[in-house]
Chains A and B, each alone.
Chain A
């Protein structure tokens, strides 16, 4: 059993067990604080009964008109707490907030090689909307030296009953900077 509650600034000291996983990016302090100040409703943390951090989710809402949507910036569960359905739970919370904000859909980016994550999101009702070339830039760690493409995955919310936002694009493309 889990406690899911709003993320606070001090929680940044407690997320090492989540962030040291190689597929979890540790951003600069400013990045987390921006989300904390602008979109606190999306920033949640999950704790175990004995007070350890199990995972967290960080997101935002953006876009205009029919493109008004929720976005998952980071979703991460510590290795020792996987297979408990926590990712699904955190995603459901984010979708719920997005529904309340009357968003049309939720979207997220995921590495094309991360089959575990892609499968999880598919199970939660997300489909691949488009492929974004070289979204993830290569960095210094030996696992991710090359640039890597991302899947942009989407799930329509109740405001888009015909699921127009999920109709996939054919050609992959670059995001212009």
Chain B
């Protein structure tokens, strides 16, 4: 093989292996032999220098390459990596502009130029480049639609009259001119996006029902059904929408979003026809009966029953606290041994009465209480599934109780409750769980910890550390029984920080293995506390780690914007754009 090729390959191999020092050496070998003629070797050397952290040298090496206009693919690719890794995405576009001037008829170069503009969100230049591509290859649809999408993105960016009077009509005209030549679902969706922005919802419906619908794939029927309902809603076609939604519900009678839509639709449709609901309205009771019928047809589903409560929330005039109480009671009794029942019900706590004792939160608890199973005890021969069900029912009750009752406990009540919870927790620890499994009784421990925490918040400084420490002892006990319970770990971090103890908090944070996107959604539990805890150098390590994630983010996200254009998933472009 060509010796030059071999020498270049050696550089590539070294770079791929992460051996930057070797890459630099190999590159310099090439440059000595070819008297500095190999632009590719220069570019690769710049990249290797960058990756070695030798920034000044890397920048100098890169400027040498930049001085020469080239359309050599290998150089362009190497420099693209260089610019990405040095966070200079704008330079990629400039480089490809120069390359295209040398080879104005290269589809590959123009495509790379287009993508370079995508990376810096330069929608205007995207449009111009896509137009050139279309002129070069008018039979390739994607280039044309990249143009349309670029106009759409310009409209999204600037809004106002420029968008509505100039850009969107342009995009629409472009799409409509190509209507007969559309041959992909992506193109239809793009057309719909334009129409949606123009609020031409009649035309959206016509498109979904017209000949273009043959381009929509079977796996998109769900999505297009949702789109259709969205258009009906915008057009204010309330009765049609209501009918469509109720039909939708019958296929998934436990889907919460569908229930909410149906309730919304029914209220709107009825009200628009005959005025606001009044109490004992026959239309209301008809709606309630309809819901009850679905509930009766599917006795195991919680959705229809919770929906009755949702109707009350949306339609306050229909809400009698005693009915709400009765519904909540029967919901609890039907489903108590399932998880999340307490949180299901707590969102409706406002439906109960604060003034009337007979429909108060306390009354609800009083009525539920007798039906609860006894506190279970884990024995060797116990039926585990039944035990977990019973535990869940009791946990739901305790959580419901805590969420419903507003008044703080006095010390005696609280201590009694804590003792009860801990006793139940300790009596229900299961043997033989894997380290990745969590003890079902853990929520009892966490409730006890919450009570200690409440006490700490309220009581004066002299006594407060006791509760904090008691909580930590319990959590420590819990963690040995459930080494994977992240809720226990999060609580411990919080309480250690409250004590100013950075190191144990930090150790637990390590154990949680917070990385990638979790740095954003969970990392703050520690990162916000660095200054407070005063261990600044340790804190800095943690913050640097987190900063790396943010620094590299944008560079990664724009690549997916490019992919979205390349494969024609146009809906994702605005979703991923800032």
Contact = CB atoms under 8 A, between A and B. Distances in A.
Contacts of A116: 437
Interface in B463-514: 484, 486, 511-513
Contacts of B409: none
Contacts of A4: 255
| B218, B435, B516 — most chain A CB neighbours (10 Å) | B516
Nearest to B343: A50
A41 B219 contact: yes
A95 to B, nearest CB: 12
Contacts of A22: 436, 484
A20 B509 CA distance: 11
| A28, A49, A80, A100 — most chain B CB neighbours (10 Å) | A49
A8 interface: yes
Interface string A29-66: 11011101110110000011110100000000000000
Given A22-B436, A83-B338, A3 B256 contact: yes
Contacts of A5: 257
A84 B218 contact: no
B518 A20 contact: yes
Nearest to B309: A49
A4 B254 CA distance: 10
Interface string A109-128: 00001001000000000000
A13 interface: yes
B563 A34 contact: yes
A141 B513 contact: yes
Given A37-B564, A41-B219, A49 B339 contact: no
A23 B522 CA distance: 18
A167 to B, nearest CB: 27
A13 B221 CA distance: 28
B538 interface: no
A174 interface: no
A100 B223 CA distance: 13
Nearest to A29: B556
A14 interface: yes
A140 B567 CA distance: 36
A164 to B, nearest CB: 23
A40 B518 contact: no
Nearest to A54: B340
Interface residues of B, number: 57
Given A22-B484, A28-B516, A2 B255 contact: yes
A156 B508 CA distance: 44
Interface in B321-352: 338-340, 343-344, 346-347
B428 to A, nearest CB: 16
A36 B516 contact: no
Interface string A138-177: 0011110000000000000000000000000000000000
Interface in B249-282: 254-259
Interface magnitude class on chain A: 35 or more
Given A1-B256, A9-B575, A140 B513 contact: yes
Given A13-B521, A33-B576, A6 B223 contact: yes
A23 to B, nearest CB: 5
| B217, B221, B223, B575 — most chain A CB neighbours (10 Å) | B575
Contacts of B437: 116
Contact of A49 (B219, B344, B564): B344
Interface stretch (B191-199, B203-211, B300-308): B300-308
Nearest to A19: B518
Nearest to B485: A79
Contacts of B560: 30, 33-34, 36-37
B290 interface: no
Nearest to B220: A41
Contacts of B88: none
B340 A48 contact: yes
B572 interface: yes
A23 B513 CA distance: 12
Given A6-B223, A33-B557, A33-B576, A143 B435 contact: yes
B517 A12 contact: yes
B559 interface: yes
Contact of B306 (A34, A47, A49): A49
B521 A97 contact: no
A23 B438 CA distance: 12
B257 A3 contact: yes
A47 B347 CA distance: 15
Interface string A57-83: 000000000000000000000011111
A143 B557 contact: no
23 contacts: A1-B255, A2-B255, A2-B256, A6-B223, A13-B521, A14-B521, A15-B517, A16-B518, A21-B484, A21-B486, A23-B436, A29-B556, A29-B557, A36-B572, A38-B569, A40-B569, A41-B220, A48-B344, A52-B343, A80-B340, A82-B339, A84-B340, A101-B217
Given A29-B516, A29-B557, A37-B563, 6 more contacts: A30-B559, A34-B563, A36-B560, A50-B346, A80-B340, A142-B511
Nearest 8 A/B pairs, CB to CB? A1-B303, A3-B257, A100-B218, A20-B486, A33-B560, A100-B219, A16-B521, A3-B256
